[in-house]
Structure 1
Amino acid sequence: MNKTLVMTQAFLKIFSRDRQSMFFSLVFPLLMMLAFSLVNGDDIDPVNIGVADAANSDLSQAFIDSLDRHPLFNVSTEQEEILRVQVVTGDLSLAVLLPENFRGTPSNIELRVLIDASQTAQMNTVMPLLEQALVEVERDLRELNPLFELSIEDIEARSQNYLDFVVPGLLALALMQIAMGGSGFNLVEFRRKGILKRMFVTPIEPRDFISGMVISRLVIVLVQLSILLGIAVYLLDITFVGNLFNLYVFIILGTTIFLSLGFMLGSLAKTQQSIMAMNMMLTWPQMLLTGIFYPIEAMPEIIQPLASLLPLSFIVNGLRGVAIDGATLLSLLPDLIGAAVWIMIGMILAVRVFNWKEVAV
């Protein structure tokens, strides 16, 4: 029997007997998908706003009604002293104080807003909406018709939500973890147990060992990601409009990248503690910076060029482009080229540091 095939079967048996690895490599990304499925990114929780109406006029009531009609606001009216306490305790996000002269007089009217300055992100959303409500009240008071009206037409023939966006990224994350763990960690563990040293005196050649590990990990990744994709499509009802062949092209490319990088780390590391530290240094920045949970374009501009060049970024972009947009391989050519470059970099580094005699010791 071919020695590469023998090694492939051996590595698959080793993985199948490691129930913990099988469990966590499959369940961890599945739990993350389930968690994100419970979070509807399209829905925004209403903001609790209090209004102290010292004017008690038609104009003040029109302003309160305008706020109350907005789906983002939960409006309540109370005395100023009570509203101050509610803002401090967090029961209200902000309070608007309408003065006694809020009666439609020609002079400028100043409104005071009580806020918790620590909620800066929320304030950036709420304050423009407050200003919009004031504009609407002023327009109604002066009986002015709006000059423009937006008519929104959705030209996408499919509905998408945040789960559709994040699942391809989670598949890429699972791919990276399985591939890195299957090469680097196994290499260190085989050295620790003396398995590599014993293999050195057998007819098994380094290429058979490496080929067997690569093929076995490809099989494991393809099976596990197929299971995760099936659960996402048929149980979580995500939108998938792409071609499976194109999707698996990026899965295979990504697996090859991180297997080679894992071989490099496993050759350098001497203990499980050192391989864990090296692995975290390589994987954690990619988990945070490669657009898995939010677009790279949403990051600070100074980070974007670096983030877009990380190996996982090309795989995330490819998987997401195929799954969500139905992109072809030709349209994803920049990501294919980027992945191919990282494969060459990973293999060159792995070959440079992987020495059968030194690694086995």
Structure 2
Amino acid sequence: MKSKSLSFFISDSITVFWGDWLDLRVRIWQVVASGLVSPLIYILAFGLGLGSSIKPGVTSGSSNYLEFILPGMVALSSMVISFGGTTFSICGERLFTKTFEEMLLLPINPLSLHIGKMLAGIVRGLLTSAAVIVVAVLFTGKIFSFLNPLFLLVVILNCAVFSGLGVIVGLTVKSLESVGLYNNFVIIPMSFLGATFFDPAQLPIALKTIVYLLPLTYTAIALRAAAYLPLSEFPWYSIPVLLVIAIALSFWGAYKFAHQQD
């Protein structure tokens, strides 16, 4: 009986995801291009422009500042697109096309609704991350630094965290202007404070405490370690931290779906 329930749960989640994928697949290049602009600007401005005058983090394993920020750019791009794409997708269905109400009437577990939407956000994030990884490989020539299983696992977890957050914000906001507030007060500050441009190990204790409250910090340091450091020095604590956050957001999202009044 449990296996049958699990089978229905998985099939319902995939069904919800497939509805988003049918819309997403015709805009793949648009999604990739929109998420690649900011990382490319940061790479050119900070990595190449200021890179020669900035020393990389002492614990990062990178030989120059360009190499140092490239994993951070992967983390940054996956965060922005996973969050923004998921939020605007749900807002569009709720506020404009008005198709969201029909989905709420379906006999589907609220957690399956959240997982399906989150999977679509993960795919969006991975598409953009793949483009940034290609850029990173072209700049460094280190193919297996960015294409190893541990690196990809962390990217997927990061996409899960921020697409899960995007689902919750998409269900909460009343207008697109409200999305801008979340972006300005959550995503943009985290982009600069989440260890993407600096090594948090060098910060004072007070600032380090704040930085380590941000999930992007764990992604950035884990990606940097997966790319450049030996396996024995990988911060394994980052994986359960990201996983726990993603699971907590999933149950919160399921609760929001179960009580949504659209």
TM-score, L = length of structure 1 = 0.60
Deviation at 1:22, TM superposition (A): 4.0
| Structure 2 residue 40 is matched with structure 1 residue 30 | yes
Closer/same/farther in 2, CA of residues 285 and 344 from structure 1, 3 Å limit: same
1:282 matched to 2:186? The reply is yes
Cα offsets for 1:127-176 (capped at 9, x unmatched): xxxxxxxxxxxxxxxxxxxxxxxxxxxxxxx8711011001111101111
Matched, 1:333 2:239: no
Q: Equivalent residues in 2 for 1:214-253 (5 A)?
A: 214-233=118-137, 235-237=138-140, 239=142, 242=145, 244-253=148-157
Contact 2:87 2:170 (C-alpha < 8 Å) held by counterparts: yes
Counting matched residue pairs gives 245
Task: Confirm whether residue 271 of structure 1 aligns to residue 175 of structure 2.
Answer: yes
Distance 1:196 1:184 in 2: 13
Tell me if structure 1 keeps the 8 A contact 2:79–2:158: yes
Match of 1:14 in 2: 23
| CA distance, structure 2, for counterparts of residue 218 and residue 338 of structure 1 | 18
Gaps of 5+ in 2: 1-10, 55-60
Q: How large is the Cα RMSD of the aligned pairs?
A: 2.9
| Cα gap change, 1:352 to 1:10, in 2 (>3 Å) | closer
Opposite residue 74 of structure 2, the aligned amino acid is L
Distance of 1:353 and 1:197 partners within structure 2: 14
1:195-234, CA deviations, whole angstroms, 9 ceiling, x for partnerless residues?
111223455654454333222332332233123212211x
CA distance in 1, matches of 2:18, 2:105: 20
Between the aligned residues of both structures, percent identity stands at 24
Cα distance in 2 for residues equivalent to 1:269 and 1:186? 12
The correspondence for 1:353, drawn from 234, 239, 256, is: 256
Secondary structure at the counterpart of residue 51 of structure 2 = coil
| Aligned equivalents of 1:357, 1:350: Cα separation in 2 | 10
Q: Given that residues 173 and 179 in structure 2 are in contact (C-alpha distance below 8 angstroms), is that contact kept between their aligned partners in structure 1?
A: yes
Judged with a 3 Å threshold, the aligned counterparts in structure 2 of structure 1 residues 275 and 324 are, in CA distance, closer, same or farther, namely: same
Change in 2 beyond 3 A, CA 1:3/1:348: closer
Larger radius of gyration: 1
Question: Contact between 1:180 and 1:258, CA under 8 Å: does it hold in 2?
Answer: yes
Distance 1:284 1:238, change over 3 A: farther
- Richer in helix (by share): 2
Question: What is the alpha-carbon distance in structure 1 between the residues aligned to residue 237 and residue 14 of structure 2?
Answer: 34
Match of 1:175 among 65, 78, 86: 78
Which structure would you say has the larger RCO, counting Cα contacts within 8 Å and 6 or more residues apart?
A: 2
Deviation, structure 1 residue 3: 4.8
Residues 37-87 of structure 1: per-residue CA shift (max 9 Å, x gap): 43252348xxxxxxxxxxxxxxxxxxxxxxxxxxxxxxxxxxxxxxxxxxx
Once residues 312 and 5 of structure 1 are traced to their aligned partners in structure 2, the CA distance between those partners, rounded to angstroms, is 27
What amino acid sits opposite 1:345 in the alignment? A
Distance 1:316 1:186 in 2: 26
What TM-score do the two structures reach when normalised by structure 2?
0.80
Q: Which has the higher strand share?
A: 1
Letter in 2 for 1:25: G
Distance 1:174 1:34 in 2: 15
1:349 Cα deviation from its structure 2 partner: 3.1
Q: Does 1:258 align with 2:258?
A: no
